[in-house]
Amino acid sequence: MSERGRGQRGQRPWSVCTSEMLGLALAGNGLDPDEPVLEFSLACSDLITPSLDRKPNTFVAVSCNTSEPFWTKHAQTEIIEGTSNPIFLSSIAFFQDSHINQQTQVKLSVYDVKDRSQGTMYLLGSALFTVKELLQDKDHKLHLTLRSAENERVGTITLVAWQMEERRDQRTPVSRLPDTINGRTVLSVDESLTESLGVRAKYASLCKDTFLRSAFGGTMSRMYRFPTTDGNNLRILEQMAESVLSLNVPRQFVKLLLEEDTARVIELEELGELSPCWESLRRQIVTQYQTIILTYQDTLNNLHNYKGPSFKASSLKAERKLEFMPTNLHVQRMRVQDVSGFDHTYDLVTIGAPAAHCQGFKSSGLRKLIQKFEEAKKIIYEEECSALSSSQSIVYIPQDIVRAKEIIAHINTLKTQVSYYTERLSRAAKERSSNGLERTLAILADKTRQLVTVCDCKLLASAIQALNAARPEYIASKVSPSADAEQVVLRNDQDTLLAKWSGSNSRTSLHVDWHEEEWEKVWLNVDKSLECIIQRVDKLLQKERLHSDSSEDMAQNDQQGGSTPKKGEWSEALYPLLTTLTECVAMMSDKAKKSMVFLLMQDSAPTIALDLSLQYRRDVVFCQTLTALICGFILKLRNCLRDDGFLRQLYTIGLLAQFESLLSTYGEELAMLEDMSVGINDLRNVTFKVTQASSSSAPDMLPVITGNRDGFNVRIPLPGTLFDALPREIQNGMLLRVQPVLFNVGINEQQTLAEKFGDTSLQEIINLESLARLNSYYEQFKEVLPDDCLPRSRSQTCLPELLRFLGQNVHARKNKNVDILWQAAEICRRLNGVRFTSCKSAKDRTAMSVTLEQCLILQHEHGMAPQVFTQALDCMRSIGTREGVTQKNLSGVLPVRDLRLDPTLLYSLPLLALSPNLLFVWLFLSVAFLLAKLRYS
């Protein structure tokens, strides 16, 4: 090692500002929109406290005075305990929206925290300087005297500006600073960290990127400088932002639900006239739907009238007007620049556990409610089967119900496609385009035959018979027994509508005058109409070929007065055939759809009230989960837009979405976990499609949701320049799937009660299910993709080994086994997945988990010195962005975009132990980390 290298190991050299910063604007660096216009670090020395028997626990609050006559709180450092010479890891950054200039005055106030748990502190001393003084100093370093309120000297504070952009050989040497704090070694900082920004990888800024700004806003940023094991320095930018999607997605989603249920009512009304017994049943079902439709309408109006912040505070999680909005949804980003000069970005979405808080948890959560509902349906099915021989009724098995829904969806899709290609065929005939006619006919024939195949099934035939048997004319035509002898007896048992028949006639007797052969004639007419069109087109095309190949014959025909092809000949020849096909298709589709609607009406009637209530709860939970997923997808897509391996993985096997939950399996949180697990499982019915945005305005780049409860598609519009970077498969509209997994480990004191006196089986089942899906996803990856699609890692443990360790921990049934969460998170990152973290409100436990994960990443992937791990963790927890989330939720009025924090809010807040629960979690995670560290070492 050179003499210069050895010299730098023993000191902490501060980087300096570039000469361009002496300008009036302090504009920062245009290549990196997240680069602060001014950043400096702080250290105190020789602090004097009134009490000589204790050393101070200090932090520095930074205020500035720009154009206003008042001091505005800007930022603060972490607390360093028990030393008169603290060196702070957090740096003070002024970004472009800080509006500072050379005349801006900055006040540094040093506080001594007497009792951290109570937040009691006093002002030790303060010092003033102007930005111009810092920039004009030849070393860009200031040594300021701290003076108390009585103007007595209480110590010294040193601040040094960090360089924005300058070559290494031009940097000014600096003096030696203390290399120990409380006996702990503080490693030196390598100035190569601030290499030219031109070598950095392209980076999508949360604050400035046009696409990301359309979805995210109110970004809060924090800067840190952490030493590494090799004597270098990590530059960390921690950011947290809200999302307008917290409101935008629920608005779209509720509107789709409203349209779907309204269409359901219309379908029931379009069944036509029914006999009195069936009409009564239909009216009761429609009434139930109309009630739920009114609820959706009220919800949609409330969402459109909402004028608050773009996040729902945890205190509002049970607010009915906002129940579709996710609780406390934020995106968390950690951007790390290491000695290589390249950025490494780690994104995370935090959300309060998706659950139906308004509806309560006394009757348990969705998982048990669905199980009870299915058991009730099974009992009804068994009762109907037992009465089958006496009533001669048609009893539909559960598979028939699923098939009926599929048939309706296929009919709606195929009918629309047949109508579209029929119109195109007519247009091609008018234009007399042989190629267009031939190509369009091939597609039309394929879609029509698919529709005929769907309608050619016994289930449809029996359902049509049942519907005909429910017509008044059918009952009137029966000689015996009379129509009056047949009725439906309705009763409500525990809010469940039950329908039973009395009389000798069955509700869907098989002995009716309308036979299956007549339905066969309907779809055979469609088939025959299509064949007539094919034959006529063949003749027209054959005649056209003969006409083209025999020009001499055509000339001879002209001389003899023969006819020449007319311009509208093809259109006139095909028009009546296309009209017949359209009418036959409409008749077939109408009959088939009505019969399936009637079948579903029979199935849903006995449990309609419970069904709709359960569906509403499921909608609420799914909407919250879907919003988080869309946020994660947008972040991942934008950051990996030039990662060919990820994009290939995305359109080949889909996106891995890993949810981490810290809910306990005790009390209400057990029901929340049930809700959350169902909502996450339902994400398997979501697909994404990337399109090109019509313009670069923010509204045109917001996601658009389409579909219904059977499957939702989310369209992500990208600006043209970004869309062009996508592979051809995605540009062509390939649907991108999602593979969601959920791992839960309760870590609070309620989980201790659950493990001792309660039941943790739900947590075990959820983790086992997710482990199976995670293994399946990796197996799919290995089958079709190479390993070079995955991101690089410094870890010595390969993915198969990580999956094996995770499997061992999941099967171990160990209490509070947080290894499950850490290993699942690492596997997700290694598989290009999107990470989500949640607890009840996404505050305390989530903050502990997020900050711990960030520090573990810094240590394992970027070599952060283990000596400063605890200090770095404390730094992020006390003054990082997650503390800002807590403030927003506690105060209820603090917008995230406003960095001028109220000192009374900040200083009175217990900076580490925000609550007894949080302190418990912190102690537990700290012990768990030490045990894990010993095991890995």
What torsion, rounded to 10 degrees, do the Cα atoms 214, 216, 222, 224 define?
-80
Q: Read off the amino acid at residue 708.
A: N
- 706, 256 contact by CB (below 8 A): yes
Neighbouring-strand partners of residue 73: 63
Taking alpha carbons only, the member of 104, 92, 101, 331 closest to residue 207 is: 331
* 344 membership: H or E segment, kind and range: strand 343-350
Taking alpha carbons only, the member of 653, 628, 645 closest to residue 783 is: 653
Sign of CA dihedral 248, 249, 250, 256: positive
Estimate to the nearest angstrom the gap between the alpha carbon of 465 and the chain centroid: 45
Q: Which of 623, 839, 855, 875 is catalytic?
A: 839
Cis omega before residue 481 (within 30°)?
yes
Q: Read off the amino acid at residue 789.
A: C
The strands making up 704-708's β-sheet, listed across from edge to edge, are 686-692, 711-718, 704-708
Neighbouring-strand partners of residue 122: 112
The Cα angle at residue 35 between residues 30 and 39, in degrees rounded to 5: 130
Cα distance between residue 907 and residue 122, in whole Å: 10
Give the pair of three-digit tokens for residue 21. 């910063």
Neighbouring-strand partners of residue 344: 336
Q: Specify the DSSP class assigned to residue 357.
A: G
DSSP E strand stretches across 651-809: 655-661, 686-692, 704-708, 711-718, 738-744
Cα distance between residue 80 and residue 525, in whole Å: 85
Buried b (16+ CB within 10 A) or exposed e, 101-130: bbebbbbbbbbbbeebeeeebeebbbbebe
- 11, 177 contact by CB (below 8 A): yes
The residue with tokens 């994404």 is 688
Taking alpha carbons only, the member of 249, 93, 922 closest to residue 632 is: 249
Beta strand 141-147 with 153-161: parallel, antiparallel or unpaired? antiparallel
Residue 225: partners with Cβ closer than 8 Å, 6 or more residues away: 41, 89, 90, 91, 162, 189, 233, 234, 235, 236
Residue 839 annotated in active site: yes
Estimate to the nearest angstrom the gap between the alpha carbon of 577 and the chain centroid: 49
Residue 772: partners with Cβ closer than 8 Å, 6 or more residues away: none
The Cα angle at residue 936 between residues 931 and 937, in degrees rounded to 5: 95
What torsion, rounded to 10 degrees, do the Cα atoms 685, 686, 691, 693 define?
140
Active site residues: 839
